[in-house]
Amino acid sequence: MADQNETSALAQSSGTSDKVWFITGASRGFGRVWAEAALNRGDKVAATARTLGSIAGLKEKYGENVLTLEMDVTKPDQVKTAVEQAHSHFGRLDIIANNAGYTLVGTIEESSTEDIRAQYETNVFGAITVIQAVLPLLRKQGYGHILGTSSGVGHVTLPVVGYYCSTKWAFESIHESLALEVKAFGIKVTIIEPGAYATEFGSPLSAKFAAGLDVYADFKKQVFEGMQGMERGDPNATPEAIFKIVDTENPPLRFNLGSHNLAWVRAAYTDRLETWEAWQEVSSSAQGTLK
């Protein structure tokens, strides 16, 4: 008879359900939506959040199919303990949804170095801490799928959230390198890139606002008005797309979530290519030749 790991590996290769998820940032937003959707389809979920009270409802509703864990991604010891508890409890981890994060709202000049460091501690170093904690277990299993929740601003930028954008550019490159490094171990990586959605993201619950400077007041007002006018997607419409990603044998490295990102990113890259090509002669002149 096949052991548990062999059975799960067969399930992975055939794209079937009954998967075990480890989800960070499960208290709200995409983390909460995806956790409940996975549980509703019969999967099992280790749901983590900074406070157990924020995810207590999951335990009450889904019983033994969910394990709720208190975990702050900026605390490596907590992360290691939570990952080990989840793996021990369910016997395996199939999908790691690295979802915890928040945005720092403020211009490049306004934001303090302390706030910038804190943003990176959660959005970048927190994600790395989770990855480094799960990889030994996934390697031993011989399979696993890491989902990293990035953003459309992992390719383009917006004013007033420049530091948040920068964390997503770092997040993208880290996961791209990771995908190359762990492919031989049977581990898959997909970067999920949501557009604008009607989640709590950007609210006081999921954002920190830098102290403002009067010189930027009018500019920021215009930016915020533009953001408020953006069409936002329904987060509850996303789970089926995520399930298609985790159930397929060959998932993409990058996946745009929503209908607006592709046109936005295409325009940005077209502009970059045109600029690089226009300056190619000058660029090539700087190559020189070594004797």
Radius of gyration of the chain (CA): 20
Read off the DSSP letter of residue 157: -
Active site residue 143: no
The active-site residue out of 164, 166, 188, 197 is: 164
Provide the Cα torsion 89, 206, 236, 82; round to 10°.
Answer: -10
Strand locations in 51-129, DSSP E?
66-70, 95-98, 103-105
Report DSSP letters for 159-208, one per residue. TT-HHHHHHHHHHHHHHHHHHHHHGGGTEEEEEEEE-SBSSSTTSTTTEE
Active site residue 150: yes
The active-site residue out of 8, 27, 111, 150 is: 150
Question: Cα(190)–Cα(125) distance, rounded to whole angstroms?
Answer: 18
Active site residue 168: yes
Query: Tokens 């994060």, residue?
Result: 101
- Which are the catalytic amino acids? 150, 164, 168
